[in-house]
Amino acid sequence: MSSNILLNVLDIYLDTDNPRHDPIYEQNKIIEHLLKDERVRGLARHISTHGINPLDSIGVVKDEEDNYVVVEGNRRLCSLLLLNDPDKAPAGEVPYFRKLADNSSKIPNAVNCVLFDDSDEANTWMGVRHNGEQDGVGIKNWDSKQKTRHNGKVNKKDQNALALALLDYAVKKGILHDEKTDRIITTAARYLGNPFIRETFGIVSARSEQDVKINVSCQDFDVVLARFCDDLVENTVVNSRTRKEDWMAYGRALIEQSVAPKIRVKPHLMEECLLKKEANKENPPNSNGEDGKAEPNKGGGEQGGKGEEKGSSESGSNGTEKSGSNESESKGSNNQNPDKRKYIVPYDFKVVINNKILRRAFEEMRTISVDEKSLAVALVTRAFLENLYILFFEKATGSHQPQQTHVLMEKVIKEIKLDSNLSKVEKDALAALMRVQSNQLNVLSPKTLGANAHAGLYPNPTELKREFDNISPMIKYMLKRI
């Protein structure tokens, strides 16, 4: 049976056979190891500031010579030994621990311990503490959301604070189900850490702030937040595998589709949107409870946190839009003419691409303006399609023989025709792909794309967008199978 006992720190020995290291039989060598590999310096600094953790007990047993030996809490005991007697530290570490000791009144010279009858009894409880959750028996670590909630309570900066505040708000608004927030908070924080994304949403707070301020109407903010939450849950366009260029492209797409707010108002707390309905969506109350005065978004970079990732809003920011959008636009309608979009790839074309080269080409298709740089888009589209045909054919047949693209396309089409489970949409897209293959003048045919590469023809951006839309279900079909 175990019992509680108060022991002088300097009367306890470090364990020579602790799981944290191979057997070490000299106390000074154990100290050297723990300092080098087990982050004892940081623990000692924390103890010198706050004292010993009252939620943790040090476990000891008696050895053959009736000495007390620590079996649970070697790092804590090592820290306490060095704080009580800095000369026990290796020569180069002595000044560090002496300074901590001289400037602290929190360091105990005696600690409450649990004395076990033997090592077997101690090992049972050490396993509970150190072997993970064990179906609820052991310690269950906090997830990202729980850590952020705790940090908020103690006013500690947390990079997920803004994301958690937005997701909590979305749950209260009925935009999001609470059980979905656990798995998306980290991804949300990655996007919201980007100044351009925050500006696009109308957020003026930094990513580590939990009291979120916005400079758009509640109604407009809810529209863009709802889209963001939907995309987070779907985990296709918005996911943890994205990088800065993806975040910027996502923000531009929200602006292009009129999902992002266009009208700017005086900053006010997001939480106010939960307290009362807006009397006038363009004049919500500011943080002082006064009516906000609508202002156009002037863009030009981050309005929130200091010391965070810097980034300009680039041209095409919300501020370049004109006010007075109609109701369908403010709700994020996708009814705009697809010919007028900026990129060959539409925003709602969502795919997962595992091949790195193919993914890089696709990202350029998704972020280069086809109206401004149609030749560049045609060239990268050619590279994307040719590689896609090759990868699909190799996967379907196991053949790795080099072939001309128009011949390869014909064989790819024959392989797809063998699939008797094609949907109506896929059959229509296959017919469009057959037209691309058979018509040398088609903007996406191998011959035309080759002529683009040699500057023999200059591509029409509208035709590029239309033909991509026609065959896009087939592109998805092949990507799923490579």
* Cα separation, 173 vs 438, whole angstroms: 53
Cα torsion through 72, 77, 78, 81, rounded to 10: -160
Residue 186, pLDDT score: 87
Contact 212, 313 (CB under 8 A): no
> Element (H or E) spanning 49, and its range?
helix 40-50
* Cα separation, 390 vs 382, whole angstroms: 12
Residue 120: pLDDT band (50, 70, 90) is confident
What mean pLDDT is reported for the chain? Answer: 83
Residue 326, pLDDT score: 37
Residue spans of beta strands (DSSP E) within 322-386: none
Q: Which amino acid is at 150?
A: H
Per-residue pLDDT at 156 exceeds 80: no
What tens digit of pLDDT does each residue of 454-468 get? Answer: 877 899 999 999 999
Per-residue pLDDT at 4 exceeds 60: yes
Residue 105, pLDDT score: 94
Region of 60 on the Ramachandran plot (φ > 0 left; ψ -120 to 50 alpha; else beta): beta
Region of 114 on the Ramachandran plot (φ > 0 left; ψ -120 to 50 alpha; else beta): beta
Per-residue pLDDT at 345 exceeds 50: yes
Per-residue pLDDT at 140 exceeds 70: no
* Cα separation, 10 vs 84, whole angstroms: 8
Contact 373, 457 (CB under 8 A): no
Which has the minimum average pLDDT: 119-133, 263-277, 422-436?
Answer: 119-133
Residue 317, pLDDT score: 37
Residue 282: pLDDT band (50, 70, 90) is very low
From 198, 189, 210, select the one nearest 144 (Cα to Cα).
189
Contact 221, 284 (CB under 8 A): no
Range 395-410 average pLDDT: 87
For 85-211, where are the alpha helices, taking DSSP H only? 94-102, 119-130, 144-153, 161-172, 185-192, 195-201
Per-residue pLDDT at 294 exceeds 60: no
Per-residue pLDDT at 378 exceeds 70: yes
pTM: 0.43
Range 370-387 average pLDDT: 94
Contact 215, 209 (CB under 8 A): no
Residue 351, pLDDT score: 86
Q: Which amino acid is at 100?
A: L
